[in-house]
Amino acid sequence: MKTPITVKPNAKRSGVEEAGGAIVVFVKSAPIDGKANSEVVRLLARYFRVPQSSVIIRRGGKGRQKLVEIVGK
């Protein structure tokens, strides 16, 4: 399953929300050295109840708009 997401770095809390059919991921980490992307993968894996290795960022590795593939869903 491929799904577009929006990432909000430097948030006060971490979490995943669905708003109007869009997925928004809030991460506490700053977008430095891939820390925010690592947190995005961890949060999405927990949200979709899949291993972290099943969450792949296909596009947008350096932006807030990303295309994420969830393998096995």
pLDDT of residue 73: 65
Q: How many domains does the chain have?
A: 1
pLDDT in tens, the chain (73 residues): 899 999 999 999 999 999 888 899 999 999 898 899 999 999 999 999 999 999 999 999 899 999 999 998 6
Structure-block tokens of residue 13 = 């809390």
pLDDT of residue 12: 95
For residue 60, the domain's CATH number is 3.30.1200.10
Q: Model pTM?
A: 0.91
pLDDT of residue 21: 84
| Beta carbons within 8 Å of 23's beta carbon, 6+ residues apart | 3, 4, 5, 6, 16, 17
Query: Could you list the residue range(s) of the whole structural domain that residue 49 is in?
Result: 2-70
pLDDT of residue 19: 83
